[in-house]
Amino acid sequence: MLRAVIFDLDGTLLNSIDDLADAANWVCARNGWPLHTLEEYKHFVGSGIPNLCRRFAPPEAQSPEQQARVLADFRARYDAHKEDKTAPYPGAAGAVRALQNAGVMCGVLSNKEDGLAKAVVEHYFPGVFRHVQGAVAGRPVKPDPAGVFSLLKEMGLAPGPGVFLVGDSDVDVFTGKNAGLPVCGALWGFRGRAELAAAGADLLAETPAEMARLLLARAG
């Protein structure tokens, strides 16, 4: 029986890549560094904002002091422009509602900072998710399973049969494997079929609606 679904945020529920890329390239331009393409940013994101900043900065800007400045500049720019182009993927909210109407608990686990993740989810999905967790100090980010276990505890559940993860990258698939949970790959997101299949996703869905149908079929 399907008990719960844990969703990734960026690239799964939200198409946020333009705002992330714009903020990162703003930092690059400000420092006179080479800019990166949207496709490059689709592979830079997924492991948290500090890792994103390390990936778009050049080799000569990798010291802890430099990265602290890069991170501060990126956060300020992104916070001011994080809603310019970002939008939920078509059908995402309806798919979540279909799962909830079938009695399935739904939560969000993101590598965004916890406060930002909660604010973004509530802005774009008001009243939809009761359980949202992002990155917190002292806890490793995905693909470490610590966040999964923390979120499930908040939801009053234990990891095991009936809990699925949904995400668009190999980070999400590895998170599920590390937590002992199956994963449905979101083909509509940033990374695509080849990466998700190679990582070992248990299911692959072309759209949020298909994802909901596949998971609800597991509930029957």
Mark 21-34 as b/e (b = at least 16 C-beta within 10 Å): bbbbbbbbeeeebe
| Bridge partner list, 15 | 87
Is 8 a catalytic site residue? yes
Amino acid present at 200: G
Among 8, 10, 19, 168, the active-site one is 8
69 class by beta-carbon count within 10 Å (0-12 exposed, 13-18 middle, 19+ buried): middle
> Closest by alpha carbon to 10, among 124, 162, 97?
124
Mark 149-177 as b/e (b = at least 16 C-beta within 10 Å): eebbeebebebeebbbbbbbbbbbbbbbb
Catalytic residues: 8
